Chain A
């Protein structure tokens, strides 16, 4: 036992030395000696820690990207993917971002899984003038674009999703709704957006109840909502809390419609809730219902291709929203690099290439991704519109698209 550990330490020491040497003498690194220019993308993802449920599929998609793109020889450039795990810790996100910028000489940083992590690295990437593409949901990451010129993100915002949901509620004749959500940053963000989009007064937010991820009892709050005389309840949480909140509402005899936010648009929602969440109306991304959207939708071929690729590697029906978020980030980076080099960016000059990629990002037009159609400009660094959001109902354990 002892000798193996010792040997392990020696191996570790040697590899550390080698790594240090390769950093100290960048000229000796084989990557630079290649003829073709190299696009280096650093993907910093929360594979472990509290956000690992989101980070795991994101990492899968990055690996898938690495496998399918790094080996391609038909491109005028090479792609190198550098993967890091920040453990859902914003401090680590920052240090890894620095490492990616300074040691790995990355052109684009794909980071981070969570909103706190993404917010934390903004200053670092702005100072280094390098494009970052976040996979976190909050709109504040990219707003205002003038103050965060190098920051982009792929997931659609809560605002767009909520608008879609509220439009649908209006058509259903719903007047009074209640909010039932997590009391962490995610739930708080949802509540703020809901308060924003209900400002026009067509739908009134009359009750707000909160719970925590680790709660064991959701009944009291559900009772409260039931007694508020609501036309509908909007649940803003992630599984399993979203499932438990849904079940509690049913248990206390609430019979009205129950709407769910994007947090519930993952397979785990149905896997955990099973029959109990039948009939739930969930705001979803295109990926959840990719085989149900209209054939002429520009997203359909992109979605089908990605879903097929992902499922063939990780198992049938495994593809979910979060995998699509990192996939789009990687693909956007490639697309921007391609256009930047085509318009004459000097690939030998790292700093100039980084800026050129950002400029190219801002010229992305009608680019169909897994999350929706991207139209990025200097003022809009999200670039998604209503076409990125869909509503679905849980029927027979599946997300079934609600046709509108």
Chain B
């Protein structure tokens, strides 16, 4: 009986770590831009698939698309009439560097097939950059619109990204090797190194995000935008850039969770949505604004999923998604909507 318990806890925590990255992504994006991002799970898919193709030595198509998109926006920025010559040069240089990084990582991964870390880098850079593109393309033109408009926009983005993944990589699942083969016997439970790696990476990513937002000026600016958008704007914080940054962080974190998870469940075009939704359930516990509560939420979701799959396998998803109702009731009780600062 104890074995079973340990197994379930180990798997629940591993999945919780994955959902944790998703919940963080959702919160970063929601607080800064007010987008309830339904498309979040698609970054998981794109991260996993571009990682798989980079690892197999193919030049990631996603990187090429992203580079083209960045170039297009760079042209638009440079064409802006109010700019001085020096600013134009600065924009051109910075964008060129950015595009170069996206292409160089993809090219290096292509040059050295099978190099794990290069593939990780290529995938993360491409997906995070895609996040900024999606922001500029879909959110910026309607910034300031009501959350429901932004939500519907994100549904559209979901459909486009979902279809794009099928077009680029096809419907067949791809198997991805873990960072280290094998695992370790923890008492009666066999835990793969990949599971431990997932938990560790997740933790590191969360700490990094915390340090970034507490200790750096950019992070502070992001926080300020999250707390009060207009106020931040009045203080001279470029909220558009903050939005791009939040989308980059969100997409990058989700891509990370995707490429971490891929060795356990294979990378396929269909993997993202349920992961995104479960991250959403966890984030809902924190009202999609509070990081610590959301972290409790992800453990809750991971463990509930694991235990309900053991008890009533046919209804495990029902149980997990049903959790939203008590969560919302609870949130309403402890913190009625009218007291929200925003």
A residues whose Cβ falls under 8 Å from a Cβ of B? 48, 50, 52-53, 56, 183, 209-217, 219-221, 223-224, 227, 239-240, 243-244, 251-253, 268, 271-274
Contact = CB atoms under 8 A, between A and B. Distances in A.
B305 A217 contact: yes
A244 B271 CA distance: 14
Interface stretch (B117-125, B144-152, B166-174, B227-235): B166-174
B166 A221 contact: no
B265 A272 contact: no
A381 B18 CA distance: 49
Contacts of A239: 173
A216 B173 contact: no
Contacts of B142: none
26 contacts: A48-B171, A52-B166, A56-B170, A183-B314, A209-B313, A214-B273, A214-B274, A216-B15, A216-B271, A216-B274, A217-B14, A217-B15, A217-B305, A220-B11, A220-B307, A220-B313, A223-B4, A223-B8, A240-B173, A240-B175, A240-B265, A244-B266, A251-B190, A268-B172, A272-B266, A273-B175
Given A216-B265, A219-B7, A251-B190, A224 B172 contact: no
Interface in B270-316: 270-271, 273-275, 305-307, 309-310, 313-314, 316
Contacts of B175: 240, 271-274
Interface in B295-342: 305-307, 309-310, 313-314, 316-317
A215 B274 CA distance: 8
A221 B309 contact: yes
B111 interface: no
Contacts of A53: 171-172
B313 A52 contact: no
B184 to A, nearest CB: 13
B268 to A, nearest CB: 7
B134 to A, nearest CB: 21
A211 B271 CA distance: 14
Contacts of B306: 217, 219-220
Nearest to A247: B264
A53 B270 CA distance: 13
A220 B173 contact: no
Residue from A210, A214, A253, A273 whose CB has the most chain B CB atoms within 10 Å: A214
Given A211-B313, A223-B310, 15 more contacts: A52-B170, A183-B314, A209-B313, A211-B309, A212-B317, A213-B270, A215-B274, A216-B274, A219-B8, A219-B306, A220-B306, A220-B307, A223-B4, A223-B7, A251-B192
Contacts of A52: 166, 170-171
Given A53-B171, A240-B175, A216 B4 contact: no
Nearest to B174: A272
B71 to A, nearest CB: 14
B161 interface: no
Residue from B8, B261, B313 whose CB has the most chain A CB atoms within 10 Å: B313
Contact of A217 (B171, B266, B309): B309
Given A48-B166, A211-B313, A268-B173, A216 B264 contact: yes
Residue from A52, A212, A223, A224 whose CB has the most chain B CB atoms within 10 Å: A223
B265 A244 contact: yes
8 tightest Cβ-Cβ pairs between the two chains A and B: A220-B310, A220-B309, A52-B171, A240-B266, A240-B173, A272-B175, A221-B313, A209-B313
A236 B274 CA distance: 22
A320 to B, nearest CB: 12
B177 to A, nearest CB: 10
Contacts of A272: 173, 175, 266
A214 B192 CA distance: 20
Contacts of B305: 217
A240 B270 CA distance: 12
Contacts of A56: 170-171
Interface in B151-179: 166, 170-173, 175
A401 B91 CA distance: 65
A272 B7 CA distance: 24
B310 A216 contact: no
Contacts of B166: 48, 52
B310 A224 contact: yes
A210 B173 contact: no
A256 to B, nearest CB: 17
Residue from B18, B166, B173, B314 whose CB has the most chain A CB atoms within 10 Å: B173
A219 B4 CA distance: 10
Interface string B1-19: 0001001100100110010
B17 to A, nearest CB: 11
Contacts of B170: 52, 56
A367 to B, nearest CB: 32
B7 A252 contact: yes
Nearest to A52: B171
Contacts of A216: 15, 18, 261, 264-265, 271, 274-275
Contacts of B310: 220-221, 223-224
B261 A214 contact: no
